[in-house]
Amino acid sequence: MSKVLTVVGARPQFIKASPVSKALRRRGCEEYLVHTGQHYDEAMSERFFRELGLDEPQVNLQVGSSSHGAQTGAMMAGLEPIVSQQRPDWLLVYGDTNSTLAGALVAAKLHVPVAHVEAGLRSFNRAMPEEINRLVTDHLSTLLFAPTTTAVANLAAEGIQGDKVRLVGDVMFDAALSAPLGGAAALLDQLGVTRKGFCLATVHRAENTDVPGRLEAIMGGLSAVAGQMPVVLPCHPRTRPLIGQVPGVSVIDPLGYVETACLLESALVVATDSGGLQKEAYFHGTPCVTLRDETEWVELVELGWNVLSPPVSAAAVGTAVLAAVGRVGREGAPYGNGEAAVRIAEALA
């Protein structure tokens, strides 16, 4: 059976890898797991491995934080000898982080076929580092596992089509279907909020955190929302020093996958700049406001579950979040039927 070398490095990739790793084991595939160390804080890394039932990685490169170029280069330097030694049948990457790009580049140079989970996403904004990572990875890949028909169409527009593109559905939906939510009541009590009585917010993208005007607009908007309902803000370690005190907003440490799922299902509304959280909110039936100029997950906007709100002012953010309360989108199944991981494992096997 196939030997698959999987490269992960960030919270969303741990979530995506969990159902796929289990499906690979069921197919009898050998998996060699490499953690780049892009997310290295315990709350953003080891905790997710435990909660998601992922095996400990065979290697942790412990790259940590640095500039995009330095971080990607360090990952490539660490990955190259491992891939050369292991000689896998496939190198498997997820999403759009620097870990994704580093894995794809190393594999391509060593003539190891690349398989990309979540291929074909496009924001059409090349100012985003994630967009560059997606484009390069997709054009280097031998197998492209697209989560949606929109992603398939994006690839076709770039000349990537045929049997190498597989419409499989979204592996994050697979993970959400098995998320245990039994601890929600205790968590809500701990945070001092009630079910469907609070806003869950996150902010971490550089386009927001590194632009003072945008970050001030988001925090001011969330503070305004806090005048109407409690706002819970699990804060990325990189973001916390930038925001200081936010009046009325409960800023807490990062949460694990299970706790986040509980809050997503229990929240009245979600405000985020995270791509993954947009989908996870939808999976749990909670309306979402995306604090960005564009989104890769256009299906959620089209169905009415998500609305874009560029953070141009505190008033714009606050108004958009409060207007989303009670909104219910149309029914649909844009992300498959929860069997994406099975399809991916079958293709790799």
Residues carrying an active site annotation = 204
Instruction: Tokens for 306, please give them.
Output: 């998500």
Q: Any long-range contacts for 75-80 (C-beta under 8 Å, 24+ apart)? A: 75/9, 75/36, 75/38, 75/99, 75/102, 75/103, 76/102, 76/105, 76/106, 78/36, 79/7, 79/34, 79/36, 79/103, 79/106, 80/106, 80/109, 80/110
Write b or e for each residue in 23-58: b if 16 or more Cβ atoms lie within 10 A of its Cβ, otherwise e.
bbeebebebbbbbbbbbbbebbbbbbbebbebeebe
* Measured distance CA(40)–CA(85) in Å, rounded: 25
Q: Are strands 143-146 and 165-167 parallel, antiparallel or unpaired?
A: parallel
Name the amino acid, one letter, at 158: E
* Measured distance CA(138)–CA(70) in Å, rounded: 22
Do 337 and 174 touch, CB atoms closer than 8 A? no
C-alpha closest to that of 192 among 240, 280, 252: 252
Can you name the residues that pair with 92 across neighbouring β-strands? 6, 115
3-class DSSP state of 69: helix
* Measured distance CA(106)–CA(7) in Å, rounded: 11
* Measured distance CA(147)–CA(120) in Å, rounded: 8
* Measured distance CA(32)–CA(26) in Å, rounded: 15
* Measured distance CA(297)–CA(287) in Å, rounded: 14
Instruction: Tokens for 201, please give them.
Output: 């917010």
| Residues whose CB falls within 8 Å of the CB of residue 81, separated by 6 or more in sequence, listed in order | none
